[in-house]
Amino acid sequence: MQTPPASILMFLVAAAFGAIGQYLYKSGAERATGSIASYLLNPRLLGGVICYVAVMVLFVAAFKRGGSLTVLYPVYASTFVFAAAIAWAAYGIPIRPVNV
């Protein structure tokens, strides 16, 4: 079974949403005070949840179009590259060969 290019594109977009969601979780956790309300009403944490829901929707749509696990999950691994780029841009964390 050949994986359609649209499925690959959906997984790339999902990877970007996944990395953005991870950033929103981290930055939201940094701003939370520790109370349950500070987590539930935190816009950044809610944004992270929305990103993860978008990832799930894109996964389902890509698989529905005939995407293969053995092709798509390695594509989703690009989340690590996107997350490293976001960490560099947002926090100044250097990207070194040992991190890649």
The pLDDT assigned to 100 comes to 66
pLDDT tens per residue across span 52-94:
999 999 999 999 999 899 999 999 999 999 999 999 999 999 9
What DSSP letter does each residue of the chain carry, written as one string?
-PPPHHHHHHHHHHHHHHHHHHHHHHHHHHH--SSHHHHHT-HHHHHHHHHHHHHHHHHHHHHHTT--HHHHHHHHTTHHHHHHHHHHHHH-----GGG-
The pLDDT assigned to 59 comes to 97
